[in-house]
Amino acid sequence: MADYAAPVRDIAFTLSTISDIDDIVALPGFDHVDTDMVDGVLDEAARFFGEVFAPTNEVGDTQGAVFTDGGVVTPDAFKEAWAKLLDAGWISVTGSPEFGGHGFPKTIGLAISEMMTSANLAFSLCPMLTGSAITLLTRHGDDALRDAYLENLITGVWTGTMVLTEPEAGSDVGAVRTKATPNEDGTYAIDGVKIYITWGDHDLADNIIHLVLARTPGAPAGTKGISLFLVPKFLLDDDGTPGTRNDIETVSIEHKLGIHGSPTCVLSFESATGYLVGEENKGMAYMFTMMNQARLEVGLEGLAVAERAYQHAATYAKERKQGRAAGSTETSPIIDHADVRRMLMTMKAYTEAMRGLVYDAVAAEDRHLRSADPAVADAARDRLALLTPITKSWCTDRGVEVASIGIQVHGGMGFVEETGAAQFYRDARITPIYEGTNGIQALDLVMRKLPMHEGRVVAAYLDEIEGIDAALASAGEGVSDLRRELAAAVATVRKATDWLNSSDDVNARMAGATPYQEMLGTLAGGYYLARQAIAAIDLGLEDPWMAAKVATARFYAVNLLPKVHGLLDATIAGPDLLFAVDDDLIGASS
Amino acid sequence: MADYAAPVRDIAFTLSTISDIDDIVALPGFDHVDTDMVDGVLDEAARFFGEVFAPTNEVGDTQGAVFTDGGVVTPDAFKEAWAKLLDAGWISVTGSPEFGGHGFPKTIGLAISEMMTSANLAFSLCPMLTGSAITLLTRHGDDALRDAYLENLITGVWTGTMVLTEPEAGSDVGAVRTKATPNEDGTYAIDGVKIYITWGDHDLADNIIHLVLARTPGAPAGTKGISLFLVPKFLLDDDGTPGTRNDIETVSIEHKLGIHGSPTCVLSFESATGYLVGEENKGMAYMFTMMNQARLEVGLEGLAVAERAYQHAATYAKERKQGRAAGSTETSPIIDHADVRRMLMTMKAYTEAMRGLVYDAVAAEDRHLRSADPAVADAARDRLALLTPITKSWCTDRGVEVASIGIQVHGGMGFVEETGAAQFYRDARITPIYEGTNGIQALDLVMRKLPMHEGRVVAAYLDEIEGIDAALASAGEGVSDLRRELAAAVATVRKATDWLNSSDDVNARMAGATPYQEMLGTLAGGYYLARQAIAAIDLGLEDPWMAAKVATARFYAVNLLPKVHGLLDATIAGPDLLFAVDDDLIGASS
């Protein structure tokens, strides 16, 4: 199992060139943060997650979380790493100082999350979902709930979960049937069975705070009749410490393809005591307030697993010798073979392109939440709304692709589990599914995000991409291929965008949603790498690291970006061909 | 775990429209075979593999082959299915009648292999590799070896293996170090450690016949000094039955990502007795005579796992209800949602396209081996040579892609192992690796196959594809999109082909090999579906099955075929961008 060394330089460069971290730390509320501090934080986090978390990844996979009569048991290595994580305070980086957090921008929190997720994706889901619970409570909980629960969540003494899915309510959350019956004391009795509850039970913390979607008696049908409840594993005593066990049974955990270290629970609520968060019937609206955050974080998972798979494959390709590369008189490391090099460059280019997209989106979130200028905040909100489905879907699809390439680089060794490459391929496969499947993201992109402000949000984004043409022209012949390919790609994406935005046919737009999403993601990746290439040229190509940035952007532009042209026809074809074959001729009888 | 129902109608249609099975059974040596018989064989095989083999797939994965002190133990269900397979005679379909086989064309054998492989990929590898051993012995063994071993291999009483790989000799077979020292009695003492030996040990048969690559003393370096030996697990007594155990130790079996039912062995040969096959130092040349066959069979695996994953996903998508499709007033089966429909149509179109490619290639093999007309036989040999790397690589990459889509169709359920979709994703992942990685296939395609007869073989294939334009034009407006897209695609592929064939720069051609291979495979898939669409129109679209064939070809043409345009720039870019980033900036330090 190869080590993980956080790519601190690329993270810092992306924070600087894409997120504009100087601008972020200058936002209101971040007076205690400055750019120099950021560099120190990145170095320290890199050390911590490389040394403490990364070594837990393999045991998390092979031993995994285990379901016992006494609840879910995690590997000992997880317990030790968790204790060190709390000690070091990494879990509290973005939390509100009012409740024990450090109050850093989300952009910096994301950089740290990237490292944690590369180090151990399965494990990282526990603080990730706790973060979602914190967001919901902070924005929608009343003072009593916030005072009782927030600090212990922010400091990681307790953990949180998101309890949405039921057997008949997956992508269609509105079908939730779990009941919430008012008790006389103002609490609610929660009854129902919930599935796919990530970290729904474990032995790392003294309490688990479930945020549960349920229906009160007589609530309207569908999404408009869903309320949000806080349901702790242990009810709090008067002194605020965990006391009586609540009536929540862990029924089982799933036997999954990957992320074995993350217990995915079936939970049965049997008149469990719950506390209403906010107002009745607004549960779905509240969920949407944390949806962007959670979807960005899943997009980040695609990036993070790709980074680790890439490092793993590169290490192997430098060590493994086989055959002679062109022009060599002795056995070559396989990194010298053109097809292996193509695989590694593809992994590198996709990973760095994803980093640009994710770090741009999270910076928009900080600006949206913090900017004192309403115009900036509003524009950032719209940008985040547009980028969220692209980030979630494109980065998770690329994460699977990069992990699969990682196996291929290893040849036969890649198929042997002990090599470690296969774990990334298995772990990555959940990311295009959860937090809204990528098909759901595509519908969100095409049906809700493209039409925003009569299409002006996406038009502005495409204008921005086109707008770097002048800088690429100034940068000279060295990037003429990059300039040419980017211009061609944005023109093709604009055709698809115009077609979708001018079509009145809902079915036609839904039919083209998925290929369009891939088009826009592929273009975005090329755009961020191009911006980084321009910055690198400004900083000076005598530094090989800067020259590599330019070469990576050019590689992407010539080898990966042109895929957008192959997706145009599928995007604008309309629904007829999708539905031209009868159901009974799809599948077994065909 | 869903059942498997062999797609008999599509197999028969492909045999008819692509392989031209009437022409195949009319070849010399197939007097005992006619087309009516073929239909009966397909139906009977479909019943057998659906009922007897398909149910063993899950236990093969969960229980798997187990390494014990007494050797490798397979699941009981495998032993029962194997006995029934031998009883039914399916294993002997293509074997020579001289040695107990039924003497059917390889094209028909492949159709049966497709069903066996869809039913249980891991299990199918045992007869598949036995088939390779049979081919080698038939063509290169002397009478004594053929008489002693062939009949028991052809009837499946014994099984065979291919023993090539060593820790330092994978893709570079020429690095083999295993020694073969002549004994006084004309046999050889074989010494060395071999890895990745598929079905290298098991408890299904009384003997295992290993075909081993090794070096005799003083042999030339590299591939020119490798000889082929037959090394049985049990030496034969004078009466021809297995007697003394040979000195071959099963050291371990690999813990793999997938195909758990197939034991992948490390074998140690310790002065084991071996018999030279053919002449010394010609081992690699002999291996090449079975290489086309084995590579086609791995391509077939891509098709077969895709077919099963597709059936599995389609069954789920018809049963699972979630949300409301556009225009529906109640909860819809997810097959009605556009993005799920797109996934299923993509699975269907790729699977049927692969079937066309594989069945065309194997028909060329029959013509090459059997045609009385030397011009036909030679043209078929060249066609097979061209199609082999494309079939192996394109079908295995698509197999992985289709299996991954299959998980996505299942949503969260797809990530739960018990659903069965994940097994296909794990099993499929080996196929782009073994029997020559897909990168090796690309080099074979571009460096050896494209230059054949000064490029005339590939030119003839592209001409043939272009040549169906007239038939598509006659077929009318209903396939105008198919006609347009196919013409555009073949023009783009011709550009890439011309560039590669006119380039003197070896490095440039190697750099473009992988994207070119994907271009040619994608085009080939569209071509076979287009031919089937033309045939379906001739047969009459009042039959919904024929109308579905046309719709599937059109779907492919609009949604998948245009990918070739996105691969052109990568193919003709040359090597500079691949090698522009220094080794030390690839991987962990970047």
B141-165 pLDDT, tens digit each? 999 999 999 999 999 999 999 999 9
In 3D space, the residue among B538, B573, B590, B566 whose CA is nearest the CA of residue B13 turns out to be B538
Q: CB distance A569–B578 less than 8 Å?
A: no
Handedness of CA A568, A574, A579, A580 (dihedral sign): negative
Phi, psi (rounded to 5 degrees) for B166: -130, 165
3-class SS string, A364-430: HHHHHHHCCCHHHHHHHHHHHHHHHHHHHHHHHHHHHHHHHHHHHHCHHHHHEHHHCHHHHHHHHCC
Q: Sorting pLDDT into bands at 50, 70 and 90, what band is A290?
A: confident
Q: What is the mean pLDDT of residues B526-553?
A: 97
d(CA A58, CA A277): 38
Token pair recorded at residue B35: 């087309």
How large is the average pLDDT for residues B239-267? 98
Q: Give the model's pLDDT for residue A2.
A: 53
Q: What percent of chain A has pLDDT over 70?
A: 99
- Residue B61 · residue B260 · CB < 8 Å: yes
| Nearest residue in chain B measured CA to CA from A223 | B323
A292-296, A484-488, B396-400: which has the minimum mean pLDDT?
A: A292-296
Residues paired with A229 in a beta bridge: A212, A276
Q: What is the pLDDT of residues B452-475, one digit of tens each?
A: 999 999 999 999 999 999 999 999
Cα angle A11, A16, A20; round to 5: 125
| A residues 97..156 contacting B (CB < 8 A) | none
Total residue length of chain A: 590
Task: Classify residue B186 as left (phi > 0), alpha (psi -120 to 50) or beta.
Answer: left
DSSP B1: -
With CA atoms as reference, the chain B residue closest to A325 would be B507
Q: Are strands B227-232 and B208-214 parallel, antiparallel or unpaired?
A: antiparallel
Q: Which of A168, A257, A584 to mutate to test the interface with B (most CBs of B within 10 A)?
A: A257
Selection from B397, B396, B313, B300 nearest residue B348 by Cα: B313
What's the pLDDT score for residue A113? Answer: 98
| DSSP letter, residue B262 | S
Angle, CA of A230, A234 and A239, to the nearest 5°: 95
Which DSSP string corresponds to B457-491?
HHHHHHHHHHTTHHHHHHT-GGGHHHHHHHHHHHH
Residues of A with CB below 8 A from B257's CB?
Answer: 407, 415-417, 422, 425-426
Mutation to test the B interface, candidates A402, A564, A590, most B Cβ within 10 Å: A590
**From residue A22, how far is each of A253, A358, B161, B577 by CA, in Å?**
44, 17, 63, 33
Q: Hey, how many other C-beta atoms are within 10 angstroms of the C-beta on B288?
A: 10
Identify which of A166, A186, A185 has the alpha carbon closest to the alpha carbon of residue A176. Answer: A166
Three-state SS string over A102-165 comes to CCCCHHHHHHHHHHHHHHCHHHHHHHHHHHHHHHHHHHHCCHHHHHHHHHHHHCCCCEEEEECC
List chain A residues with CB under 8 Å of B331. 172, 175
Angle between helices A283-319 and A374-409 (to 10 degrees): 40
pLDDT tens profile A561-574: 999 999 999 999 99
pTM of the model: 0.97
CB contact under 8 A, A344 and B422: no
CA distance B235 to chain A (A): 31
pLDDT at A513: 98
Alpha-carbon gap, residue A190 to A146, rounded angstroms: 21
Residue A318: predicted pLDDT: 96
Residue A121 has pLDDT above 90, yes or no: yes
What's the mean pLDDT in A488-494? 98
Q: Are B537 and B480 in contact (CB under 8 A)?
A: no
Please confirm, yes or no, whether B301 is among the known catalytic residues: no
Q: Residues of A numbered 549-568 whose beta carbons fall under 8 angstroms of chain B's beta carbons: which are they?
A: 551-552, 554-555, 558-560, 562-568
pLDDT at B291: 79
Average pLDDT of B238-244? 97
Q: B257-282 as b/e, with b when 16 or more CB fall inside 10 Å?
A: bbbbbbbbbbbbbeebbbbbbbebbb
Q: What is the mean pLDDT of residues A314-320?
A: 96
* Residue B207 near residue B158, CB atoms below 8 Å: yes
The whole-angstrom separation of Cα A107 and Cα A370 is 12
Distance CA A243, CA A245 (A): 6
What is the reported pLDDT for B290? 81
- Ramachandran angles phi, psi of B248, nearest 5°: -125, 120
Check whether A58 has a pLDDT greater than 90: yes
* Cβ under 8 Å to A: B residues 449-488: 485
Smallest Cβ distance to A255: which of B417, B560, B588? B417
* Single-letter amino acid code for the residue at A269: F
pLDDT tens sequence across B93-106: 999 999 999 999 99
For the cut 80, the answer to whether the pLDDT of residue B227 exceeds it is yes
Identify the H or E element spanning B344: helix B338-370
Distance from CA of B234 to the nearest CA of A (A): 28
CB-nearest partner of A433 from B335, B414, B417: B414
Token pair of B223, please?
């591939």
Model confidence at B1, in pLDDT bands (50, 70, 90)? very low
pLDDT at B590 over 70: no
Q: Is the pLDDT of residue B588 over 80?
A: no
pLDDT > 90 in chain B, percent:
94
Packing angle of the helix pair A106-119, A283-319 (nearest 10 deg): 50
In total, the C-beta contacts within 8 angstroms joining chain A to chain B are 304
CB count in 10 Å sphere of residue A28: 9
Q: How near does any CA of chain B get to the CA of A557, in Å?
A: 9
Contacts of B144 (CB under 8 A, 6+ apart): none
Least confident of A65-74, A105-114, A165-174, B63-72: A165-174
Percent of chain B at pLDDT above 70?
99
| CA angle centred on B113, ends B53 and B314, rounded to 5° | 65
* C-alpha–C-alpha distance, residues A236 and A305, integer Å: 38
The pLDDT of A446-473, averaged and rounded, is: 98
A46 touches chain B (CB under 8 A): no
Residues of chain A positioned with their CB less than 8 A from the CB of B511: 338, 342
Burial of A189 (0-12, 13-18, 19+ CB in 10 A): middle
pLDDT in tens, A153-185: 999 999 999 999 999 888 888 899 999 999 999
Asked if B431 contacts B439 with a C-beta cutoff of 8 angstroms, the reply is: no
**From CA B343, how far away is CA B334, in angstroms rounded?**
11
> Mean pLDDT, chain A, as a whole number?
96
Give B2's pLDDT tier (boundaries 50, 70, 90).
low
Q: CA B3 → CA A435, B64, B308, B401, distances in Å?
A: 30, 19, 9, 21
A496 has pLDDT over 80 = yes
Q: How far is CA B255 from CA A220, A416, A417, A543, B265, in A?
A: 53, 6, 6, 44, 10
Distance CA B141, CA B154 (A): 15
d(CA A443, CA B324): 13
Whether the predicted pLDDT of B405 surpasses 60: yes
For residue A183, give both structure tokens: 């008790």
Cβ–Cβ under 8 Å, residues B112 and B90 = yes
